[in-house]
A and B are shown apart, each in its own frame.
Chain A
Amino acid sequence: MSDITSQSLFELTSNIKEKKLSSEEITKAFINRAEKSKKLNVYVTENFEKAIDQSKKFDSNPNLDFKLPGIPIAVKDLFCTNGVRTTAGSKILNNFVPTYESTVTQNLWSQGAILLGKLNCDEFAMGSSNETSFFGNVQNPVRENLVPGGSSGGSSAAVAANLTPVTIGTDTGGSIRQPASFTGTVGLKPTYGSCSRYGIVAFASSLDQAGPMTKNVKDCSMLLEVISSFDRKDSTSIDYKRNNYSKELSKDIKGKKIGIPKEYRVDNMPIEIEQLWKNGIAYAKDCGAEIIDISLPHTNYALPTYYIVAPAEASSNLARYDGVKYGFRSPGQNLIEMYEKTRSEGFGDEVKRRIMIGTYVLSSGYYDAYYLKAQKVRQLIKKDFDDAFSKVDAILTPSTPSSAFKIGEKTNDPVSMYLNDIFTVPINLAGLPGISIPAGKDKNNYPLGLQVIGKPFDEQNILNISYALEDKINFKNDISDWWLSE
């Protein structure tokens, strides 16, 4: 049997069901590795002692019908966990201990999973490199001083470094798919309304979705099956029949029509990404898929639209952090001064920047010019996809316009940081499902991903296409464990 921590979720689950491994053995293996992996800075809060207790409890009376029987899982620190500190990577929630559980994490525990701890992320999920976290940046296990992507950077690093078998992240503009691409892992953003947003610290409510981050496509299907559910506590949760994603997973994609949008061929895109895309197209053809050239004419307007819609929603969502009911408080002479000092000291620079953008575009006299305009362009972007999906079953694109960059390289230039999400943002604006799978490497040997975009609620189809491509690509992550200490 291979080393416990390098096993996939499927392998671990099988080993538990066949009684070859106990939950305690697995849980302790991940904890031991985490103790030697502090240098990566993936954890904001560890839950190790409780996790071991829970694994023993599971082993004493194991329920092997569960989908995640005794499997330890660390999650992004954006999910509220009852009794375990939840910070959203922010000073303002540094001491916040929820008294309730998010629906998505509850779905994990209801299927037998055990909480290992809370993973680092960009502050309020605002960032593409995990550098805006109050708890410091995360190292990409691929190479020292490389960002792991963001905002789910602690999550992507933890999966790539074998510190959790799988994890869940959140994706508002690419926060699952971009870090997956940067670390050679798989990340899926489901259709808007597929996974409940209840108990997830809100960033931009019309865009936020939780989703699985895993080592491979099969694990991704297993985890999506657990976390996707209809939930009355989220008014935008959609009541529809979910697939048994892992059972229905198939490499047979013969006759599937896959669209290639010409607008995703951007200036200055590295040659390796162009090549990666061509390879993906060739593999899809090998599998019997039909390749069709399509156009998504408003692609170039997606990022500017996003940088109005997301900050506007964020400025409204983050109004609740005022130092009154929970979280950090800075004292003031009067109520207003307390608000202003609390928010000034409690939020980091990027979060403040976005609150300011959002406040501005919603302010009197500017609403029509910016916010309303953006909502109209969002309609055009959605229509692009509607038109495309009348001709094709899925769309294949690169996940990101570049590979992972160095820590500190883009922190002084917000716009260049925002450009990272150029291929992922349109999918959130249109509410579609998208998955990033590792597909190759650049000249430095850093991983690169391909993205498969689907019709609403068609997660099964993009999982199947990814499953077929994964088999052909046969990607091997080249990680040397350089960070391990004794």
Chain B
Amino acid sequence: MSIDLKTVKHISKLARISIDDEKANKLKGDLNNIFEFIEKLNELNTDNVQALTSIAETTLRFRKDEIKSENIREKILKNSPEENKDFFVVPKVVE
């Protein structure tokens, strides 16, 4: 199986990473090399194998749903790229 330029552009759209044609061509080569290597898994028959979804053999713990931190608005907004003391600012989304 090989990944074409159109697929590379489609994935980049899904991943929200803009790429130009030169980069896309380079990536196409890299991805095909990597997938050629990955295809080795097809040698194995895994029809009767249960997928491993968690390596830690524990069940998730329950906890009470309660507020533990207070007044952390300032902390949360501290690293915001565009400064505003109350909100995160993004380009306009509603016309």
Instruction: Say if the beta carbon of B67 comes within 8 Å of chain A.
Output: no
Q: How far is the CB of B42 from chain A (nearest CB, A)?
A: 8
Report which of B14, B51, B60, B81 forms a contact with A235, defined as CB distance below 8 A. Answer: B60
When distances are taken between beta carbons in the complex, the residues of chain B under 8 Å from A324 are: 81, 88, 90
The residues in A between 423 and 443 inclusive whose CB is less than 8 angstroms from any CB of B are 429-431
Instruction: Say if the beta carbon of A340 comes within 8 Å of chain B.
Output: yes
Task: Say yes or no: A414 contacts B33, CB within 8 Å.
Answer: yes
Give the number of A-B contacts (CB < 8 Å).
157
Report which of A192, A193, A305, A414 forms a contact with B30, defined as CB distance below 8 A. Answer: A414
Q: A236 to B39, alpha carbons, bound, how many Å?
A: 31
Q: A301 to B46, alpha carbons, bound, how many Å?
A: 12
Instruction: Say if the beta carbon of A375 comes within 8 Å of chain B.
Output: yes
Task: Say yes or no: B41 contacts A380, CB within 8 Å.
Answer: no
| Stretch from A127-135, A254-262, A280-288, A329-337 contacting the other chain | A329-337
Instruction: Say if the beta carbon of B71 comes within 8 Å of chain A.
Output: no
Task: Say yes or no: A359 contacts B75, CB within 8 Å.
Answer: no
Task: Say yes or no: B30 contacts A353, CB within 8 Å.
Answer: yes
Task: Say yes or no: A334 contacts B61, CB within 8 Å.
Answer: no
When distances are taken between beta carbons in the complex, the residues of chain A under 8 Å from B93 are: 334-335
Task: Say yes or no: B51 contacts A376, CB within 8 Å.
Answer: yes
Q: A192 to B28, alpha carbons, bound, how many Å?
A: 34
When distances are taken between beta carbons in the complex, the residues of chain A under 8 Å from B39 are: 304
When distances are taken between beta carbons in the complex, the residues of chain A under 8 Å from B38 are: 304, 307-308, 370
If A326-B80, A414-B33 touch, does A355 touch B88 (CB 8 Å cutoff)? no
When distances are taken between beta carbons in the complex, the residues of chain A under 8 Å from B54 are: 206, 236
Task: Report the interface size for chain B: residues with CB under 8 A from the other chain.
Answer: 49
A374-393 vs B, Cβ < 8 Å mask (1 yes, 0 no): 11111110100000000000
Task: Report the interface size for chain A: residues with CB under 8 A from the other chain.
Answer: 69
Interface of B is mostly: loop
Q: A335 to B53, alpha carbons, bound, how many Å?
A: 34
Which of B12, B19, B30 gathers the greatest number of chain A CB atoms within 10 Å?
Answer: B30
Report which of A95, A96, A360, A372 forms a contact with B11, defined as CB distance below 8 A. Answer: A360
Q: A224 to B76, alpha carbons, bound, how many Å?
A: 32
Task: Say yes or no: A326 contacts B41, CB within 8 Å.
Answer: no
When distances are taken between beta carbons in the complex, the residues of chain B under 8 Å from A235 are: 60-61
Task: Say yes or no: B16 contacts A343, CB within 8 Å.
Answer: yes
Instruction: Say if the beta carbon of B5 comes within 8 Å of chain A.
Output: no
The residues in B between 16 and 34 inclusive whose CB is less than 8 angstroms from any CB of A are 16-19, 27, 30-31, 33-34
The residues in B between 57 and 94 inclusive whose CB is less than 8 angstroms from any CB of A are 58, 60-61, 63, 72, 75-76, 78-82, 88, 90-93
Task: Say yes or no: B52 contacts A379, CB within 8 Å.
Answer: yes
The residues in A between 356 and 374 inclusive whose CB is less than 8 angstroms from any CB of B are 356-357, 359-360, 363, 370, 372-374
Instruction: Say if the beta carbon of A289 comes within 8 Å of chain B.
Output: no
Task: Say yes or no: A360 contacts B52, CB within 8 Å.
Answer: no
Instruction: Say if the beta carbon of A238 comes within 8 Å of chain B.
Output: yes
Q: A206 to B57, alpha carbons, bound, how many Å?
A: 12
Task: Say yes or no: A356 contacts B41, CB within 8 Å.
Answer: no
Q: How far is the CB of B5 from chain A (nearest CB, A)?
A: 13
Q: How far is the CB of A237 from chain B (nearest CB, A)?
A: 9
Which of B7, B12, B88 gathers the greatest number of chain A CB atoms within 10 Å?
Answer: B12
Report which of A192, A308, A340 forms a contact with B16, defined as CB distance below 8 A. Answer: A340
Q: A303 to B58, alpha carbons, bound, how many Å?
A: 26
Task: Say yes or no: A97 contacts B40, CB within 8 Å.
Answer: no
Q: A414 to B16, alpha carbons, bound, how many Å?
A: 22
Q: How far is the CB of B40 from chain A (nearest CB, A)?
A: 5
Task: Say yes or no: A340 contacts B34, CB within 8 Å.
Answer: no
Q: A371 to B12, alpha carbons, bound, how many Å?
A: 19
Q: A332 to B18, alpha carbons, bound, how many Å?
A: 12
Task: Say yes or no: A322 contacts B79, CB within 8 Å.
Answer: no
Q: How far is the CB of A406 from chain B (nearest CB, A)?
A: 21
When distances are taken between beta carbons in the complex, the residues of chain B under 8 Å from A304 are: 37-41
Report which of B37, B51, B56 forms a contact with A236, defined as CB distance below 8 A. Answer: B56
Task: Say yes or no: B50 contacts A379, CB within 8 Å.
Answer: yes
Task: Say yes or no: A238 contacts B82, CB within 8 Å.
Answer: no
Q: How far is the CB of A206 from chain B (nearest CB, A)?
A: 6
The residues in A between 289 and 332 inclusive whose CB is less than 8 angstroms from any CB of B are 298, 300-301, 303-305, 307-308, 315, 319, 322-329, 331-332
Q: A326 to B89, alpha carbons, bound, how many Å?
A: 11
When distances are taken between beta carbons in the complex, the residues of chain A under 8 Å from B33 are: 414-415
If A375-B52, A379-B50, A380-B46 touch, does A343 touch B15 (CB 8 Å cutoff)? yes
What are the 9 tightest A-B residue pairs by CB atom distance, in nearest-first order?
A: A326-B79, A431-B55, A329-B81, A375-B51, A376-B46, A340-B18, A99-B75, A379-B52, A376-B49
Residues of B within 8 A of A (CB): 3, 7-8, 11-12, 14-19, 27, 30-31, 33-34, 37-42, 44, 46, 49-56, 58, 60-61, 63, 72, 75-76, 78-82, 88, 90-93
Contacts A/B (CB < 8 Å), 18 sampled? A206-B55, A304-B39, A307-B37, A307-B38, A319-B16, A325-B76, A335-B90, A335-B93, A336-B16, A340-B18, A344-B19, A356-B8, A357-B34, A373-B46, A375-B51, A377-B44, A378-B52, A379-B49
